[in-house]
Amino acid sequence: MNGKPNLTRTRAELLAALRDPQPWDVIVIGGGATGLGAAVDAASRGLRTVLLEAHDFAKGTSSRSTKLVHGGVRYLAQGNISLVREALRERGLLRRNAPHLVHDLRFVVPAYDWWAGPFYGIGLKLYDILAGRLNLGSSKYVDKNGALERTPTLQPEGLRGAIVYHDGQFDDARLAITLVRTLFDLGGTAVNYTPVTGLVKLGGRVAGVTVRDEETGESLELRGRAVINATGVYVDAVRRMDEPDVKDMLSPSQGVHVVVDRSFLPGDSAIMIPRTDDGRVLFAVPWHDHVVIGTTDTPVDHADLEPRALDQEVEFILRTANRYLSREVRREDVRSVYAGLRPLVKAEGAGSTAALSRDHTLRVSESGLITITGGKWTTYRHMGEDVINRAVEIGELQAKPSATAELKLHGWSETPLPEPLAVYGSEGAEVQALDPTGKRLHPDLPYLEAEVRWAARHELARTVEDVLSRRTRALLLHARASIEAAPRVAELLAEELGHDAAWQQAQVQAYEAVARGYVLS
């Protein structure tokens, strides 16, 4: 898995696999963190596996996180020790299995009250203990000078000191693409832009799905021994394909982040504010030479494919961050703002979505549809193992034990190339070789034209948005610059995929319509 690309799959080859009438062992609906984790786990056990994604891989929640692989300090405060222990173990495994995508990050928890240092210090020592041998580094108390040395733009007035602890950081959408490539390495199949349009039933049992290729309109029927609904905030829509009157199991919540220039948080540490006005945790995190600040928790009535940040959410983030930063972050400093939806499972008596657990939930309907939801990126692997254990039972499948705890993900490398090629791991040099001149897409973005060609040839990128939002992270880093880069991306994609000038123009217009929602006006 850590060598050269060995099983690149073209879209034509993948669609041909869907036409094969042979039944699948496992059909996974949904190409986000949970679905990809399930598919990789199934394939690692030797099961014939297919994953179907209605849009692009990680199009929804799974590309819009805070970019952290963490145990969840907030869940520790809630007393959910088992969830924290599980997440810390998974954090360690992911760091080991994908070092080109996951790395250690130091966090500073500023203490402005006399009790804050001892209070948070004790909690974070427990955090260390729960991580066990997979701990990334020991927490410790530092004085005011130590805190400012690590985070020079921290508000110095009233600062007594800080607790320093360690957690993990990653690139969420790039991990999703890495899991697609890993699935291919294991002999599995995954196709984007193939929405499931219905369930196939035989004798009252779910026995497959109907699916449509969005690019050609072709409809196909796939048979499968186990069908898994892993569609995140859309699980209830798929459950209604099975039972039209089923009650919703989700109470989705929106989280917003703003992205600013790296100068607002120099140094090599992140800041964690342990309790905001709405009872959440606020992070300011260095990421791809920018700073991500968030998040919020706003209940929403329905799940939009492109959720938009509310003005009050942006103002809350800026107001809270400016209490702790010596340099004021203004609206005009925001380079991008993005929103994601959390698939929170309803709980009786929960007063707010912030109080809902991030434990995952697994349910099997009377007809055998397996639904898994909740959870978070950090625990995606364990969720995959859990749901495939159940699928083996439901489908009466012959399968080996899960191999994902020790599975090195595609591109594994402990010495990747520098940014922006680090996310490709061992394949970084091959990406670079596609254009030795190193021509960039835009002066204000780190990304190379070679990455567009690579995305089209090896990563199933089909649209300008696929490239600028998820194969690269241009949309999240600098929305306006990404809009300016869109015409060149369309041109490169058209060369790779065989499209004409009219396609390019339509792609640029479609991308701009999406990207304008990431620009803070």
Q: What residues have CB less than 8 Å from 171, skipping those under 6 apart?
A: 67, 101, 287, 288, 423, 473
The CATH number that applies at residue 238 is: 3.50.50.60
CA atoms in the 13 A half-sphere facing the CB of 272: 23
* Mean pLDDT confidence for 111-130: 76
pLDDT tens, position by position, 353-411: 444 445 789 999 999 999 999 989 999 999 999 999 999 999 999 999 999 999 999 99
E strand segments, 333-487: 336-342, 360-364, 370-374
> Cα separation of 433 and 86, whole Å?
40
- Residue 157 is part of which domain span? 94-168+251-352
- CA torsion sign for 230, 234, 237, 239 is positive
pLDDT at position 377 is 95
Query: Last residue of some domain: 325, 352, 379?
Result: 352
Same-domain pairing of 376 and 402: yes
**Residue 326: CA count within 13 A, CB half-sphere:** 14
Residue carrying the six token digits 């006005």:
277
Q: Compute and round to an integer the Cα radius of gyration of the chain.
A: 22
Whether residue 347 is contained in a domain is answered as yes
Contact 252, 89 (CB under 8 A): no
Residue type, 450: A
The reply to whether 259 and 343 lie within a common domain is yes
Q: For residue range 3-48, what is the model confidence (pLDDT) as tens digits?
A: 444 468 999 999 999 999 999 999 999 999 999 999 999 999 999 9
Shared-domain flag, residues 394 and 472: no
Examine the domain organization and report whether 307 and 389 are in the same domain. no
Query: Are residue 221 and residue 256 in the same domain, yes or no?
Result: no
- Total domain count, the chain: 3
> Same domain for 133 and 44?
no
Distance of CA 193 to the CA centre of its chain: 18
* 450 pLDDT above the threshold of 90: yes
Place of tokens 């699980």: 235
Residues 396 and 493 in one domain: no
pLDDT in tens, 309-337: 999 999 999 999 999 999 999 999 999 99
342 and 371 assigned to the same domain: no
In three-state secondary structure terms, 27 is: strand
Same domain, 309 and 330: yes
In this prediction, residue 82 carries a pLDDT of 80
| pLDDT for residue 154 | 96
- On the question of pLDDT at 307 being above 60, the answer is yes
Q: 243 with 255, same domain?
A: no
Angle, CA 318 vertex, CA 315 and CA 319 arms, to 5°: 80
Q: pTM for the complete prediction?
A: 0.95
Q: What is the pLDDT of residue 87?
A: 87
The predicted pLDDT at position 1 comes to 43
The predicted structure's pLDDT at residue 196:
98
**Residue 490 within any structural domain of the chain:** yes
Report d(CA 186, CA 166) in Å as an integer.
33
The encoded tokens of residue 9 equal: 């799959």
- Per-residue pLDDT of 146-155, as tens digits, reads 999 999 999 9
**Distance (Å, whole) CA 356 – CA 353:** 5
Residue 72 inside a domain? The answer is no
Taking alpha carbons only, the member of 375, 351, 461 closest to residue 65 is 375
Q: What is the pLDDT of residue 346?
A: 82
Distance CA 278, CA 374 (A): 21
Per-residue tokens: 257: 């982040």
Is residue 418 a part of any domain in this protein?
no
Domain identity same for 485 and 387:
no
Q: Where are the beta strands (DSSP E) in 251-327?
A: 253-261, 269-273, 282-287, 290-294, 298-299
Residues in the chain: 521
- CB distance 362 to 372 below 8 Å: yes
Do residues 304 and 157 share a domain?
A: yes
* Tokens found for residue 192: 């984007």
The domain spanning residue 283 has which CATH number? 3.30.9.10
Look at residue 17 and tell me if it is in a domain: yes
Provide the pLDDT confidence category of residue 77 given band limits of 50, 70 and 90. Answer: low
Q: Which residue has the tokens 């007063």?
A: 351
Q: Determine, yes or no, domain membership for 425.
A: no
Q: How far apart are CA 115 and CA 120, in angstroms?
A: 9
